[in-house]
Chain A
Amino acid sequence: AQSVSQHNHHVILSEAASLELGCNYSYGGTVNLFWYVQYPGQHLQLLLKYFSGDPLVKGIKGFEAEFIKSKFSFNLRKPSVQWSDTAEYFCAVNARAAGNKLTFGGGTRVLVKP
């Protein structure tokens, strides 16, 4: 069975600081990888996704993520955060052999101080 680990449960940053959130998954086969974001009081929205090709994926709002297959990792980055990036971030994995079922990590709460 696939599993997803997000190493940081809470992150507190100041505006303009750089952000990196770790995500590791356990599954030996081909995977699709996702980062979802949940702003306070809202539902989950897709931030970016990786299916194949260039392992550096760019998403909305200046976010990017890098898929490193050898490390089973898909870390999320943003060079300079804004107060509006305060949210909870979820990494998710879809093992293609398992059909359309996403497995989510435990989430990382990010607080950006103005």
Chain B
Amino acid sequence: NAGVTQTPKFQVLKTGQSMTLQCAQDMNHNSMYWYRQDPGMGLRLIYYSASEGTTDKGEVPNGYNVSRLNKREFSLRLESAAPSQTSVYFCASSEWDRSGELFFGEGSRLTVL
């Protein structure tokens, strides 16, 4: 049981380049999320998708776009990368119930030069 799988695990970009982080979950969860983790700031929600076909902004959506391709997959796109987007990105999924427990992927470390 793979859980939540993210690719790539590491990426170095130059300012202005674009890239897409891929995420897939095999737990049949309805909700999926993208967080970024920065030192001393914990995890901040970028975008989430409560269910297939819907997406909503989180705390820090600027500079990002998302696509909920189907129930399993939720991608995060940086159209024009900036050094401020250097971070570790985590995808997560959860059941759409009252619990709110998230299951995380292993993270993608992105460096923007």
Minimal beta-carbon separation of A36 from chain B (angstroms): 8
Residues of A within 8 Å of B70, CB to CB, are none
Minimal beta-carbon separation of B98 from chain A (angstroms): 6
Binds A, one of B15-23, B36-44, B61-69, B72-80: B36-44
Residues of B within 8 Å of A32, CB to CB, are 98-100
Number of interface residues of A (CB under 8 A): 24
Most A-side CB within 10 Å, residue of B35, B97, B104, B105: B104
CA A4 to CA B48, docked complex, whole Å: 19
Q: In this assembly, does A25 line the interface, its C-beta being within 8 Å of a C-beta of chain B?
A: no
Interface residues on B, range: 20 to 34
Contact B96 A100 (CB under 8 A): yes
* Contact flag A43-B100 (CB < 8 Å), given A90-B42, A101-B45, A104-B44: no
CA A63 to CA B43, docked complex, whole Å: 22
List which B3-19 residues lie within 8 A (CB) of chain A: none
Contact B98 A101 (CB under 8 A): no
Contact A106 B101 (CB under 8 A): no
Binds B, one of A13-21, A44-52, A53-61, A78-86: A44-52
Residues of A within 8 Å of B45, CB to CB, are 101-103
Contact A46 B42 (CB under 8 A): no
Residues 43-56 of chain B, each 1 if its beta carbon lies under 8 Å from chain A, else 0: 11100101000000
Contact B107 A100 (CB under 8 A): no
Chain A residues within 8 Å of B, Cβ to Cβ:
4, 6, 9, 32, 34, 42-46, 49, 51, 90, 94, 96, 99-107
Chain B residues within 8 Å of A, Cβ to Cβ:
31, 33, 35, 40-45, 48, 50, 58, 90, 94-102, 104-107
8 new A-B contacts, CB < 8 A, other than A90-B42, A100-B100, are A4-B42, A32-B98, A34-B101, A43-B104, A101-B45, A101-B58, A106-B40, A107-B42
